[in-house]
A and B are shown apart, each in its own frame.
Chain A
Amino acid sequence: MCEAGKKTPVLEAKQVTKRFPAAHGQTLTACENVTLSLYAGQTLGIVGESGGGKSTFLRLLVGLEQPDSGEVLYQGTKISGLKGKALRDARRHIQMVFQDPSEAFHPRMKVRDIICEPLLNYHIIRRQEVPEKAVELLRMVELPEEFAGRYPKDLSGGQRQRVGIARALALEPDVLLCDEATSALDVAVQKSIIELLVRLQREKNIAIAFVCHDLALVRQLSHRTAVMYLGHVVELMDGRDVAARSLHPYTRAMLGSVFDLNMDFTKEIPVLKGETPGPLHVPEGCPFRDRCGFVRKECAGHMPPLEEKEKNHFCACFAV
């Protein structure tokens, strides 16, 4: 990620803000001034608690939601604000893998039809070519050929998620967005799915955004990691730095909740005090200040800017 500055990102969000109207005239801020980039062959991990705006951010990237301000660029061209055919064409290059593989498929479609559906939708292959293409895609995700004729309900969770990946990659996209793609799977299966994603990324030079709330998992596969808190990116750093060199109090607090075999179990586990204020009642200034142990006077005044504290390591905190 060191040369990242020189390369053009495949997909880029520039100062994207998205608010939703909520009941009683309140607004829900899902994303606030988010600027993140995805590069070919690299993975951006996005971590944070529930309600942090991670999923909304992915939806903004694929154009399911339109940003209130800011823009989304694909290969340097603005794709936010597109409609109809133009949006549909742009989407071809950005595909998604979903959280729950038991909900993501039409229960009465066979695996071969599921994974080839995007190709038929975009008229890339003809219906006669489905069986052949399906086998090729199944092989890509390391599933046996005979799965082509099965229904999703006949597969295990991990196998289904492989089908989900095959479907997402059928269109040969440049960008793959994984919305908690492993959180519905057990740990051993998680590992094999991650390995598959890493291999496919290497082979196809795909940019991956991997949304997850498991810091340890994100650390394993991401080149860069963004930490989101109530719609704000509070820290952005190289993937392997997450454990050793994270700076933001929120990231450090989250790391405290990651369990490790070698950890000292006699020590009390530090727990984040207080509830997330919730995206409806985001306090003025830094959204984390109510729960932060390093809170200062200026934290109440305004949101600290995301600044480069170390090389390629950005953090939005006055106390750092």
Chain B
Amino acid sequence: MTAKQVGKRILQIVVVLFGISFLTFSLMYLAPGDPVRAMYASAGSVPDDAVIEQTRKELGLDRPFLAQYGSWLAGVFRGDMGTSLALKKPVAAVMSARLWPTLKLALFSLFLVVVFSFPLGMLTAVHHNKAADYIVRFLTFIGNALPGFWVALILMYFFALKLGWLPVMSTGTGFSDLVLPSVTLAVSMTAVYTRQVRAAVLEELHRGYVWGGRLRGLKKNNILWRHVLKNAMLPLVTLLGLSFGSLLGGTAVVEVIFSYPGLGSMAVQAVANRDYPLIQGYVLWIALIYMVINLLVDISYEYLNPGTKERLRG
């Protein structure tokens, strides 16, 4: 991709972020529920209407919609994403504390997915329609059908309660706190990817270069790991990038179950508290990360497949 194309994409990202921020802002404005009451309720007090009115004025929530959005936007440009209503801390600070744990969780899940699904997919493709293929395909079928929260509870029951190897609840964001949530997230994705890898490798195995290579005396494993895998990887890299994005945004359920202090559980709390600035910040962040990952995937795709580059250059 040329610098110009990258620049264009970055501009697109900025435009989309504007749209997203406006949309979430208006959705929250229209949604039922009162942030001020929720704020006091979470603090355990039931104030009278005058106090609520007063607080509302202090927070600027009585102003017209566009004025509220405008001042929020102006703040964002100054690097100030507002202050969390419930936590009374700057949104940026709250999120940056929560970002890294979720990033760790997503990366480790993705690592597990790749480590398990690629060898399994290759295995099933090479032993196409043999026993190993049927067994693994059956398992992926089950793995894909299991709901995440159920897997989480089962893992918790065996590995945390029965065996006591890992903590039931996360006490921090260390490796032992990471394992169960990551495995939970990885189970269904591994199932999906095993099938994807299998299909991609199977397609490659039928190409002429595979048997051509064998005729010239290339060893089977050599062809498999160096040529077939590399070519089969291409379509999967895009998918992996998208999956990483959806992992970052999709950790909420697992984080809540394991009380893991990541962005997902933060977002759930923020919604429960009607913590508008925090929700707004979260949505913006996830959108940004998702689009940046997409851009990176597109750029990396070109390095993996020089063919696309040549085609673009015409």
Question: B169-183: contact bitstring with A at CB < 8 Å (1 yes, 0 no)?
Answer: 000000000000000
| Bound CA–CA A95/B213 (angstroms) | 11
User: Could you say which residues of chain B place their CB within 8 Å of the CB of A96?
Assistant: 212, 215
Interface presence of A98 (CB below 8 A) = yes
| Bound CA–CA A129/B192 (angstroms) | 47
Q: For chain B residues 25-46, which have a beta carbon within 8 Å of chain A?
A: none
User: Could you say which residues of chain A place their CB within 8 Å of the CB of B211?
Assistant: 59, 64
| Bound CA–CA A106/B209 (angstroms) | 8
Interface-side segment among B137-145, B150-158, B216-224, B260-268? B216-224
| Bound CA–CA A59/B214 (angstroms) | 12
Interface presence of A252 (CB below 8 A) = no
User: Could you say which residues of chain B place their CB within 8 Å of the CB of A121?
Assistant: 216-219
Question: B195-220: contact bitstring with A at CB < 8 Å (1 yes, 0 no)?
Answer: 00000000000001101101111110
Interface size for chain A: under 10, 10 to 19, 20 to 34, or 35 or more residues?
10 to 19
Q: For chain B residues 48-83, which have a beta carbon within 8 Å of chain A?
A: none
A64 and B215 form a contact (CB under 8 A): yes
User: Could you say which residues of chain B place their CB within 8 Å of the CB of A108?
Assistant: 306
Interface presence of A54 (CB below 8 A) = no
Closest residue of A by beta carbon distance from B218? A121
Q: Report the minimal beta-carbon distance from B140 to chain A, rounded to whole angstroms.
A: 25
A104 and B217 form a contact (CB under 8 A): no
Q: For chain A residues 145-171, which have a beta carbon within 8 Å of chain B?
A: 167, 171
Q: Report the minimal beta-carbon distance from B313 to chain A, rounded to whole angstroms.
A: 14
User: Could you say which residues of chain A place their CB within 8 Å of the CB of B219?
Assistant: 88, 121
Question: A180-216: contact bitstring with B at CB < 8 Å (1 yes, 0 no)?
Answer: 0000000000000000000000000000000000000
User: Could you say which residues of chain B place their CB within 8 Å of the CB of A59?
Assistant: 211
A118 and B216 form a contact (CB under 8 A): yes
- Name the one of B208, B209, B217, B218 contacting A92, with C-beta atoms under 8 angstroms: B217
Interface presence of A117 (CB below 8 A) = yes
User: Could you say which residues of chain B place their CB within 8 Å of the CB of A118?
Assistant: 216-217
Interface presence of A259 (CB below 8 A) = no
| Bound CA–CA A63/B21 (angstroms) | 63
Closest residue of A by beta carbon distance from B210? A64
User: Could you say which residues of chain A place their CB within 8 Å of the CB of B218?
Assistant: 117, 121
A98 and B208 form a contact (CB under 8 A): yes
Closest residue of B by beta carbon distance from A117? B216
User: Could you say which residues of chain A place their CB within 8 Å of the CB of B217?
Assistant: 88, 91-92, 118, 121-122, 171
Q: For chain A residues 31-72, which have a beta carbon within 8 Å of chain B?
A: 59, 62, 64
B214 and A167 form a contact (CB under 8 A): no
A104 and B215 form a contact (CB under 8 A): no
User: Could you say which residues of chain A place their CB within 8 Å of the CB of B209?
Assistant: 106
Q: Report the minimal beta-carbon distance from B114 to chain A, rounded to whole angstroms.
A: 25
Interface presence of A268 (CB below 8 A) = no
User: Could you say which residues of chain A place their CB within 8 Å of the CB of B216?
Assistant: 95, 117-118, 121, 167
| Bound CA–CA A33/B216 (angstroms) | 28
| Bound CA–CA A226/B262 (angstroms) | 73
| Bound CA–CA A91/B216 (angstroms) | 8
A103 and B208 form a contact (CB under 8 A): yes
Q: Report the minimal beta-carbon distance from B223 to chain A, rounded to whole angstroms.
A: 10
Closest residue of B by beta carbon distance from A62? B215
Closest residue of B by beta carbon distance from A167? B216
A104 and B208 form a contact (CB under 8 A): yes
Closest residue of B by beta carbon distance from A84? B220
| Bound CA–CA A171/B217 (angstroms) | 10
B306 and A104 form a contact (CB under 8 A): no
User: Could you say which residues of chain A place their CB within 8 Å of the CB of B306?
Assistant: 108
B208 and A91 form a contact (CB under 8 A): no
Question: A103-131: contact bitstring with B at CB < 8 Å (1 yes, 0 no)?
Answer: 11010100000000110011000000000
Q: Report the minimal beta-carbon distance from B217 to chain A, rounded to whole angstroms.
A: 4
User: Could you say which residues of chain A place their CB within 8 Å of the CB of B208?
Assistant: 98, 103-104
- Name the one of A92, A104, A122, A171 contacting B212, with C-beta atoms under 8 angstroms: A104
Q: Report the minimal beta-carbon distance from A58 to chain B, rounded to whole angstroms.
A: 10
Q: Which of A88, A104, A108, A122 has the most CB of B within 10 A?
A: A88
| Bound CA–CA A96/B214 (angstroms) | 11
Closest residue of B by beta carbon distance from A108? B306
Q: For chain A residues 79-99, which have a beta carbon within 8 Å of chain B?
A: 88, 91-92, 95-96, 98
User: Could you say which residues of chain B place their CB within 8 Å of the CB of A95?
Assistant: 215-216
| Bound CA–CA A92/B211 (angstroms) | 14
| Bound CA–CA A92/B209 (angstroms) | 17
User: Could you say which residues of chain B place their CB within 8 Å of the CB of A171?
Assistant: 217
Closest residue of B by beta carbon distance from A92? B217
Closest residue of B by beta carbon distance from A120? B217
Q: For chain B residues 275-314, which have a beta carbon within 8 Å of chain A?
A: 306
| Bound CA–CA A98/B212 (angstroms) | 9
Q: Report the minimal beta-carbon distance from B130 to chain A, rounded to whole angstroms.
A: 15
| Bound CA–CA A121/B218 (angstroms) | 6
| Bound CA–CA A88/B217 (angstroms) | 6
| Bound CA–CA A281/B286 (angstroms) | 59
A-B residue pairs in contact (CB < 8 Å), sample of 14: A64-B215, A88-B217, A91-B214, A91-B215, A91-B217, A95-B216, A96-B212, A96-B215, A98-B208, A103-B208, A104-B212, A108-B306, A121-B217, A121-B218
- 5 smallest A-B Cβ distances: which pairs? A121-B217, A118-B216, A122-B217, A64-B211, A121-B218
Task: Taking A98-B212, A121-B216 as given, write out 12 further A-B residue pairs in contact, using a Cβ cutoff of 8 Å, ordered by the A residue number.
Answer: A64-B211, A64-B215, A88-B217, A88-B219, A91-B214, A103-B208, A104-B208, A108-B306, A118-B217, A121-B219, A167-B216, A171-B217
